[in-house]
Chain A
Amino acid sequence: MLFRKYFLIIIFFLFNAYPLSANEELKNKIYKNVRCIVCQGQSIYESNSDFALDLKKLISKKIDTGESEKQIYDFLISRYGEWIVFTPRLNFNSLILWLLPLIVFAVGGFLIFRLNTNKKK
């Protein structure tokens, strides 16, 4: 009987802790992708500066009120610009940034292919 009681309590806590940890995971994911703009090359996850702590509090509050990851990034970008996120969004200004590796890959592949066919000849 006692065992069953404890078992139920453990189950209760396990299931209750789950949504909390999912939220925490999302928060940490966002913290790691947000640049601490007053620090040098750190994310707000790594920094304990006033600015980073404030942002962490605000992001945590926004997540708790049900805002999505995208909404939070949109908010931060509207206030501090694209620089605040480590992963830039795909738009006209960042198009080259996203496409350049693909272009280099394609051109490189083409050159290797041509070099190989020339050698065979």
Chain B
Amino acid sequence: MNIKYRIIILTVTLLIIFALFLKVLNSNKIYQPNQMIGKKIPEFILEDLFDKKIKISSKELLDKDFVVINIWASWCIPCRVEHPLLMNLKKNNQISIIGINYKDERINAKNFLKTYGNPYQLVGVDSNGEVSIQLGAYGVPETYVLNKGKIIFKNIGPINEDFVTKILQLKK
């Protein structure tokens, strides 16, 4: 093979490898599963936090225009960070926020809501974390926005002003 061709092939190969490394280097390292976006919410039934007799079913969420589902726990520190934003969302909006209390003690969860305020229309208890897995969540807090029972977007970790603005724009 001609030496000129060899140099060209070597340069192109090195450039491709360099581009690949650069792409990976700049990509987001935190894995964010988004498989559930665009899909219908999986079926679940949860006990209400305040009244064990009340059952919260995912079927009730299917006909609502916009619903926010927030997975939280009293022991989760980032949940406290996002809590004022949820309270604001409740105050300024007609959007219903459903809470899923993740692997928590009922008494602690109730105290948390008493202390920091209750932004939720309903709070379901996910004592073993199974429903959260069904939703494709892997920790707390995690927030889902549904339109007619379909997940349109979600946020892993505490929500921020940008996320709230995104929700507010939906209502317009």
Q: Which residues of chain A have a CB within 8 Å of any CB of chain B?
A: 37-38, 50-51, 54-55, 57-58, 77-81, 83-84
Asked if B128 and A78 sit within 8 Å, CB to CB, the answer is no
Asked if A81 and B138 sit within 8 Å, CB to CB, the answer is no
In the complex, B38 has a CB within 8 A of chain A: no
Q: Which residues of A contact B129 (CB under 8 A)?
A: 50, 54
Asked if B138 and A80 sit within 8 Å, CB to CB, the answer is yes
Q: How far is the CA of A57 from the CA of B20 in the complex (A)?
A: 38
Asked if A79 and B136 sit within 8 Å, CB to CB, the answer is yes
CB-contact partner of B133 in A38, A55, A81, A83, under 8 A: A55
Q: List 30 A-B contacts (CB under 8 A).
A: A37-B31, A37-B33, A38-B138, A38-B139, A50-B103, A50-B129, A51-B139, A54-B128, A54-B129, A54-B132, A54-B133, A55-B133, A57-B128, A57-B130, A58-B130, A77-B35, A78-B35, A79-B33, A79-B35, A79-B133, A79-B134, A79-B136, A80-B33, A80-B35, A80-B136, A80-B138, A81-B33, A81-B34, A81-B35, A83-B31
Q: How far is the CA of A57 from the CA of B33 in the complex (A)?
A: 21
Taking A37-B138, A79-B133, A79-B136 as known contacts, 10 extra A-B pairs with beta carbons closer than 8 A to each other, sorted by chain A number, are A37-B31, A38-B139, A51-B138, A54-B133, A58-B130, A79-B134, A80-B138, A81-B34, A83-B33, A84-B33
Number of CB contacts from chain A to chain B under 8 A: 39
Instruction: Report whether over half of chain B's contact residues are helix, strand or loop; otherwise say mixed.
Output: loop
**Interface magnitude class on chain B:** 10 to 19
Least Cβ–Cβ distance between B19 and chain A, in angstroms: 16
Please, which residue of chain A has its CB at the minimum distance from the CB of B135? A79
Q: Which residues of B contact A80 (CB under 8 A)?
A: 33, 35, 136, 138
Q: Which residues of A contact B34 (CB under 8 A)?
A: 81
Please, which residue of chain B has its CB at the minimum distance from the CB of A35? B31
Query: What is the 8 Å Cβ interface bit string for chain B, positions 135-151, against chain A (1 contact, 0 not)?
Result: 11011000000000000
In the complex, B56 has a CB within 8 A of chain A: no
Please, which residue of chain A has its CB at the minimum distance from the CB of B102? A50
Q: Which residues of B contact A84 (CB under 8 A)?
A: 33
Q: Which residues of A contact B128 (CB under 8 A)?
A: 54, 57
Q: Which residues of A contact B36 (CB under 8 A)?
A: 79
Q: Which residues of A contact B33 (CB under 8 A)?
A: 37, 79-81, 83-84
Q: Which residues of B contact A81 (CB under 8 A)?
A: 33-35
